[in-house]
Structure 1
Amino acid sequence: MKNALHAEWTKLRTIPSNAWLLLAAAALTVVIGATAGAAVKCPTGNCTEDPAKISLTGIYLSQAVVAVVAVMAVSGEYGTGMIRLTLAAMPHRLTVLAAKAAIVTGPVLATGAVAVLGSLLAGRLILPGNGIGPAHGYPSLSLSDGPVLRAACGSVLYLALIALLSIGVAAAVREAAAAIGVVLGLLYLFPILSAALGNTSASRHIQEIGPMTAGMNIEATVGLSGLPMSPWAGLGVLTAWACGALITGGLVLRLRDA
């Protein structure tokens, strides 16, 4: 396992686009979160806004960048044919997949931590000036506040789970464009279907099973009783999706020729 981890780390860090994409994901999260915070106004202080969720709006888009990085860690080798050399050097295929998952998840966790902290800091500076702050009864965007800490840590875990989901899909599908399409479809199709159905029980069920619609509940710090499910339960749904994708990808990797 040690050799597999070293090999996968070498591959990941020697491709410059990976670092740039992760940097872009962090920047995108902060910029979009700050833009959303600047756009939301509540002069009277009687709105039902969630400061943490507003600040973390950027994750809706940056998760797509994380998905691309994770997919390319697997599909990139199939595209170049390098996967044959990898499997010849390390014939234990599940070990190779586990090493890829571990090596990709590490930088994604670091990127997510930077992005989330930057987003919350931007929200802490911007939102009170728009009437969304402690002076109007809103929770302070501080990690000392339990719900905010949960939203912050959960959002970092959310991005890591998106990476694992993407790795599993890529191992099963292999072709990069198709794998990216499948992952983005899984993430963004459920919210579209839910919105199309309106405020119905079917819409609520879709939100409960969708990887993004369920997982994003972890960001909520107010109005928890109105959510389709609790924040941690929602993240559990995303975890189930990631585990299912990794198991499927592992089986395909083990049973099919490279």
Structure 2
Amino acid sequence: MSLLSGARPTSTTDGAWPEDFGRALRAEWTKLRTAGETGRLLLLSLALTVAVGCGTAKAVKCPDAGCGLDAVKLALTGLTVGQAVIAVLAVLTVSGEYGTGMIRTTLMAVPNRIAVLAAKATILTAVVLVSGTAAVLTSLLAGRYMLPGNGFTEAHGYAPLTLADGPTLRAAVGSVLYLVLIALLGLGVATAVRDAASAVGIVLGLLYLFPVVMRVVSDPEWQRHLQQISPMTAGLAIQSTVHLHELPIGPWAGLGVLAMWAAVALLVGSLLLRRRDA
């Protein structure tokens, strides 16, 4: 039966991996760069990340020495908003094709479905790396110039934000990787559920529901456990540069938790992609 009729092909792994992956990579790059919403969503994510970071830097005051706030994390606050747009972009990378039926043409051109998913993940990672780097560097630059005006000065124990500082560099690099992992999480969920609205709801629920539940739970031990498994709370621990011993999970370990969420989503998505009809 023809693939265009919706039936599953006889084999989902026909063709050599390098050739299939190369074709899929070129096709995914063409689709992503020609899709009108891609550029708009990336710009929106950048604008929201920087705007929220600037707003936070402008609003928070540190009039006294030792106010105890993390200047780097304040400058990067916008990622909590910008990540939602990245998640939507990742979901549309897959669900948009299912919505239009274009996925059948994609799988006809490249029967190896895992190669198709790997190509989508590779292209998505590349564009989010670029846009995420721009967002993080711009946010830190804005914080460098705005925070001193609100009391975050050397006299109060705050050196100017700079990537020459090890913890700041780690927070910057980790924040970019955080956005990449959010994109891969969205890609995996969208591949598993196909429907755009459902996928967006699941990803945003995973990101923002845990913090809400933490506020409802009164037991400190349960709160700590929830913080340790929450994809957003654990992942954003990578931004912390002060009071690290007070964190429920370490910076890199927290990013590892988010990586596990993304890996599970991609694994489930890839298994369902191989088993189901287009």
The corresponding residue for 2:10 is: none
The corresponding residue for 2:239 is: 219
**Distance of 2:156 and 2:25 partners within structure 1:** 50
**Distance of 1:177 and 1:18 partners within structure 2:** 17
Residue 166 in 1 paired to residue 166 in 2? Answer: no
TM-score by length of 1: 0.98
Aligned counterparts, 1:172-251, within 5 A: 172-198=192-218, 200-251=220-271
Residue 61 in 1 paired to residue 81 in 2? Answer: yes
Identity score, percent: 60
What is the one-letter code of the residue matched to 1:240?
A: M
Residue 18 in 1 paired to residue 38 in 2? Answer: yes
Per-residue deviation, 1:199: 5.9
- Alpha-carbon deviations, 1:202-258, whole Å to 9, x = none? 010000001101001000001111100110000000000000000000000000111
The corresponding residue for 1:94 is: 114
**Greater mean alpha carbon deviation, residues 237-246 or residues 136-145:** 136-145
The corresponding residue for 1:116 is: 136
What is the one-letter code of the residue matched to 1:204?
A: R
What is the one-letter code of the residue matched to 2:67?
A: C
Larger Rg: 2
- Select which of 156, 162, 166 maps to 1:146: 166
Q: Tell me, which stretches of 5 or more residues in structure 1 are unaligned?
A: none
- Select which of 154, 168, 177 maps to 1:157: 177
**Distance of 1:233 and 1:171 partners within structure 2:** 26
User: Over the residues paired in the alignment, what is the CA RMSD in angstroms?
Assistant: 0.9
Per-residue deviation, 1:139: 3.9
**Distance of 2:275 and 2:106 partners within structure 1:** 16
TM-score by length of 2: 0.91
* Dislocated runs of 4+, deviation >4 Å: none
**Distance of 1:88 and 1:119 partners within structure 2:** 43
Per-residue deviation, 1:43: 1.1
Q: What secondary structure sits across from 1:42 in the alignment?
A: coil
Per-residue deviation, 1:16: 1.4
The corresponding residue for 1:253 is: 273
What is the one-letter code of the residue matched to 1:194?
A: M
**Distance of 2:59 and 2:219 partners within structure 1:** 26
Per-residue deviation, 1:194: 1.0
The corresponding residue for 1:9 is: 29
- Select which of 89, 93, 104 maps to 2:124: 104
What is the one-letter code of the residue matched to 1:221?
A: T
**Greater mean alpha carbon deviation, residues 36-45 or residues 241-250:** 36-45
**Distance of 1:213 and 1:102 partners within structure 2:** 25
What is the one-letter code of the residue matched to 2:181?
A: L
> How many residues get paired?
258
Residue 133 in 1 paired to residue 150 in 2? Answer: no
Residue 83 in 1 paired to residue 103 in 2? Answer: yes
What is the one-letter code of the residue matched to 1:83?
A: I
What is the one-letter code of the residue matched to 1:185?
A: G
Q: What secondary structure sits across from 2:161 in the alignment?
A: coil
What is the one-letter code of the residue matched to 2:59?
A: A
Per-residue deviation, 1:44: 1.4
Per-residue deviation, 1:42: 1.3
- Alpha-carbon deviations, 1:14-46, whole Å to 9, x = none? 011110110110111111101000000111133
What is the one-letter code of the residue matched to 1:180?
A: V
**Distance of 2:27 and 2:269 partners within structure 1:** 20
What is the one-letter code of the residue matched to 1:84?
A: R
**Distance of 1:89 and 1:127 partners within structure 2:** 53
Per-residue deviation, 1:97: 0.3
**Distance of 1:194 and 1:147 partners within structure 2:** 27
**Distance of 1:137 and 1:199 partners within structure 2:** 34
**Distance of 1:91 and 1:155 partners within structure 2:** 35
Q: What secondary structure sits across from 1:184 in the alignment?
A: helix
Q: Tell me, which stretches of 5 or more residues in structure 2 are unaligned?
A: 1-20
